[in-house]
Amino acid sequence: MAAVQEQSSRHSINAVLCVGRDAFDRFRGVFRHLLVGLIDQAVAVRILSDYPRAQTLSLGPIQTVIHEPIVWPFRNRRIDQVLDAISVQAPTSVHAASRTTYALGRAIADAYEADLFLQVNSLADCEALRKSGVDKVGRFFAVSQPLAAALTDQLRVPAEQVVLVRPGVLAAQEAACFADLKAMPSILCLSGFDRESGVERLIEATDLLRQRGHTFMVFLLGRGPTERAIRRMIRERKLSAFVTIARPAGDLSDAMRSADLFVRPSADTIISVASVEAMGAGLACVSVPAGVGDHFRGGETAILCDKLSAAALADAIEKLLTDRELARRLAVAGMEYVRANHAASTMAQITADAYRKLALSRAALSIRE
């Protein structure tokens, strides 16, 4: 045992983090917190990405290598190019951040006999694993409890291979919800504009609330194929004075600090970091039932609709518009939940510990052999 401990103490972790565009766009801020935390955990990290904007993740000793997309018919050649690019220092851990980088992560882990970590952020990630198989994976990083359950219950991954690593975000010191009692109430929605986003449901709910005599503003920050139809719906219902559409750009913290309520009008099939950040900013949250997240807890950190309908959504929003003390209590409870369960330092420590435990197991196995 002493020999194993001595071996592990000398064993440095050299990790490669594979980040595709999908993961970068949704988890950019989370990756920054993770990388800073891994530096504090004395873990060496390099980033691999086919998305040029990922270059912005470079930080001090952490550098980003931008490579060509790994697509047929150039797949093998481009994987070889990536292997050449990182050959100066062979990785001990390979962390693929979503399904678009699983194949590359597997190829790198195979080439360097490194430990493979696959991060699961969505139901689509689970489906990709169902098709490709779950063998030769050291650990799965599930970013919520429902996704961890999907791995163990549906894909039959042993529980000891699943590590719950909730995304790390920052929590404000003061709740934004109704901080200015003289200001008109404002509602923020960050759902994309597509047929599954539920934005049309929120517009219908806004119309119902207006008919009930409520005055407030709704800010829709999103983009997508149904934007034109959504704008037409707003005009037809004469809601242009109540609803504003804008493209999300850069840091959304200013928008969150200026809002009172956050609404998620559809069930998420992928973890929405934005909704966790909204809780951390101290917004009172309203959500429809279900989804792959576990941060919206009915009556504790959010109001959950009892039905998937515009009327139910309007009723839930109305509770918070008419009972500001309830809204403030939920907002403060949401901030406390984020501090307790989504701390960036905890995310980095759990990740680094998972890297080290597999490295220790490998070291122990090599000694026994």
Does residue 317 carry a pLDDT above 90? yes
Q: How high does pLDDT run on average in the chain? A: 92
Query: How much is the pLDDT for 253?
Result: 81
Give the model confidence (pLDDT) of 162-209 as tens digits. Answer: 999 999 999 999 999 999 988 999 999 999 999 889 999 999 999 999
Overall average pLDDT of the 358-362 stretch: 86
Query: How much is the pLDDT for 227?
Result: 96
Query: How much is the pLDDT for 16?
Result: 98
Query: How much is the pLDDT for 50?
Result: 97
Query: How much is the pLDDT for 369?
Result: 54
Tell how far CA 291 is from the center of its chain: 13
The CATH classification of domain 186-341, taken from the options 3.40.50.2000, 3.30.43.10, 3.40.50.2300, 3.40.1160.10: 3.40.50.2000
Query: What does the block give as tokens for 96?
Result: 């693929």
Query: How much is the pLDDT for 326?
Result: 97
Query: How much is the pLDDT for 361?
Result: 82
Q: What amino acid is encoded at 41 in this protein?
A: Q
Overall average pLDDT of the 104-127 stretch: 97
Q: What distance in Å separates the CA atoms of residue 45 and residue 23, rounded to the nearest whole number?
A: 17
Query: How much is the pLDDT for 9?
Result: 39
Q: Is 77 exposed, middle or buried (0-12, 13-18, 19+ CB in 10 A)?
A: exposed
Does residue 3 carry a pLDDT above 60? no
Could you tell me the pLDDT band of residue 239, with boundaries at 50, 70 and 90? very high
Query: How much is the pLDDT for 254?
Result: 84
Could you tell me the pLDDT band of residue 1, with boundaries at 50, 70 and 90? very low
How many Cβ atoms sit within 10 Å of the Cβ of residue 124?
15
Smallest CA-to-CA distance from 1 within 130, 183, 9 is with: 9
The more confident residue out of 6 and 281 is: 281
Query: What does the block give as tokens for 366?
Result: 């090599």
Which sequence spans correspond to the domains of the chain?
A: 2-168+343-368, 186-341
Global pTM reads 0.92
* Domain 2-168+343-368 shares a fold with domain 186-341: yes
Query: How much is the pLDDT for 367?
Result: 57
Overall average pLDDT of the 107-121 stretch: 97
Overall average pLDDT of the 42-63 stretch: 95
Overall average pLDDT of the 72-79 stretch: 93
**Residue 134 near residue 112, CB atoms below 8 Å:** no
> Which CATH number applies to 2-168+343-368?
3.40.50.2000
